[in-house]
Structure 1
């Protein structure tokens, strides 16, 4: 019962702040909705052509699962380079070539 009262008290306090300072709420909402898309930290530098799967997915503007499905199902999709048991890469140049083949 004490949790319900605490939750209601918090809700009431938040509503009071919203009513008293609507510009603060607007500012917070703007900062949340205007955040740029997340670019992987180690995005490829000009001196490397190798991309991790998450980087390759971001480069192709698709989800990592979609990238995996394409690599499994589409024989024309570039093959991944297996560097270890759990480490693989895609060549950016291969992805660019595959993209150019997809143009209509």
Structure 2
């Protein structure tokens, strides 16, 4: 079962999470506030309030989630990464599968 790790500006994160769940691209999305430090176009940014989104989906729905999240995301180059769980509670994985169909 994949979990998608993505970051987003804090003011866009809740809308992105809701979009993913409403469109059955993710069964649930955890939104965690964070501060980010990065370089973009030669400028160092160190005071950016962002959020981490952990979206639970299925291998079948991941390509759609990735495509739609990239299209909806306000950043030019959004951070979207896939992590595959080695072990997941079977009942939870079943629930995720039902929610993204």
TM-score normalised according to structure 1 size: 0.25
Task: Mark the structure with the bigger radius of gyration.
Answer: 1
> Comparing both structures, which one devotes a greater share of its residues to strand?
2
TM-score normalised according to structure 2 size: 0.25
Higher relative contact order (CA 8 A, sep 6+): 2
